């Protein structure tokens, strides 16, 4: 069977979001967080559908009324533990040219947090019809979308610290994990990054906070100033990226994204702000910004990396208080027919 995991920039039908509520960890900051969600929805709905899931009928009624004149937005009821759709939502994969949604197990980033509802959310939404009539397969292997970055040409970029961590799939060797990636997603080549992790990150180093494909030949990555506590780790990652080669033997084009100036929460803990957590959709890129001087540099560099896309800066300062950002909140659903890698 021919399988292929599409790159994020390939044509999509929708983006999934899980709405925050007062009973969640967002409760105390809901008044600052909901406007960020609305900004994300407004940006995405200019280009494609938005699938919103909510935990209560009250929120379903409220949001359905709010977006009643927006045909690109739908609101669905599905209980949750948290709102990080990147890691609990379905992964898109083409099998013989047809889209299949893969629902992998989720264990709360290595059993750190409660996750029973999050592990069921994709199945709940699929049964309700949120993803249309696309076939979905449940997989009993633990895998999070934020740990995967593909070029759409069967190459995967990931981190050893997450995918090889025994708190996900204990007992699995590197070779066994590579075999699983080939079996489920058609991944033939895995690039394992050995360095790079942000303070405040509780995912064991998801790749979508560190380095991202902008196209099959270009990787955007986090770069820290010498005085930053992340310098040594991110410099080691940069050196590894510089030594990588594409399947044709050419080096990758590398686009450094500055690490934002340190942002701390009320307890003095540094938060994992990163510009690598951007979201690529149809004809646009949503870029997290944080009200710091580096915002303009990151926007300019991503404009260079995506010359055919419109750049939408989204202020995500409120989001990182829960240790994630824009890409972590979202999961794209690709178009139903594979028209070939881009």
Catalytic residue among 162, 214, 316, 328: 328
Residues of the chain predicted below pLDDT 50: none
| pLDDT score recorded for residue 151 | 98
Is 93 an active-site residue?
no
| pLDDT score recorded for residue 281 | 99
| pLDDT score recorded for residue 341 | 64
Measured distance CA(159)–CA(197) in Å, rounded: 9
| pLDDT score recorded for residue 342 | 60
Place of tokens 């139903």: 336
- Structural contact between residues 85 and 330, judged by C-beta atoms closer than 8 angstroms: yes
Measured distance CA(105)–CA(143) in Å, rounded: 6
User: 166: buried, middle or exposed (CB in 10 Å: 19+, 13-18, 0-12)?
Assistant: exposed
Q: Measured in whole angstroms, how far is the alpha carbon of residue 162 from the centre of its chain?
A: 14
pTM for this one? 0.97
- What does DSSP say about strands 73-77 and 91-95: parallel, antiparallel, or unpaired? unpaired
| pLDDT score recorded for residue 199 | 96
Q: Residue 22: phi, psi to the nearest 5?
A: -70, -20
- Domains, the chain, ordered by start: 3-334 (3.75.10.10)
In b/e form, how buried is each residue of 324-335, taking b as 16+ CB within 10 angstroms?
A: bbbbbbbbbbbb
């Amino acid at each position: 069977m021919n399988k292929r995991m599409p790159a994020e920039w390939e044509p999509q039908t929708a983006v999934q979001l899980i709405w925050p509520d007062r009973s969640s960890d967002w409760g105390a900051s809901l008044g600052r967080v909901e406007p960020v969600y609305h900004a994300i929805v407004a940006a995405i709905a200019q280009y494609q559908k938005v699938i919103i899931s909510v935990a209560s009928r009250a929120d379903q009624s409220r949001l359905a009324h709010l977006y009643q004149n927006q045909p690109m937005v739908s609101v669905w009821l599905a209980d949750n533990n948290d709102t990080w759709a990147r890691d609990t939502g379905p992964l898109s994969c083409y099998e013989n040219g047809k889209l299949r949604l893969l629902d992998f197990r989720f264990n709360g980033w290595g059993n750190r947090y409660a996750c029973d509802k999050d592990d069921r959310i994709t199945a709940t939404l699929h049964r309700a019809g949120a993803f249309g009539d696309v076939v979905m397969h449940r997989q009993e292997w633990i895998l999070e979308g934020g740990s995967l970055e593909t070029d759409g040409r069967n190459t995967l970029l990931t981190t050893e610290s997450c995918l090889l961590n025994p708190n996900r799939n204990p007992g699995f060797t590197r070779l066994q994990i590579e075999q699983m990636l080939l079996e489920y997603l058609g991944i033939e080549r895995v690039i394992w990054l050995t360095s790079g992790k942000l303070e405040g990150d509780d995912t064991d180093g998801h790749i979508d906070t560190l380095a991202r494909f902008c196209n099959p030949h270009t990787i955007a990555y986090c770069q820290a100033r010498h005085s930053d506590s992340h310098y040594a780790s991110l410099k080691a990652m940069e050196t590894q990226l510089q030594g990588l080669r594409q399947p044709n033997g050419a080096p990758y084009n590398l686009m450094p994204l500055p690490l934002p100036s340190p942002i701390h929460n009320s307890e003095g803990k540094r938060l994992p702000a990163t510009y690598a957590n951007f979201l690529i959709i149809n004809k646009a890129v949503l870029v997290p910004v944080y009200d710091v001087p580096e915002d303009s540099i990151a926007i300019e560099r991503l404009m260079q990396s995506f010359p055919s896309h419109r750049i939408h800066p989204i202020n995500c300062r409120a989001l990182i208080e829960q240790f994630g950002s824009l890409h972590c909140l979202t999961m794209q659903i690709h178009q139903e027919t594979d028209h070939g890698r881009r």
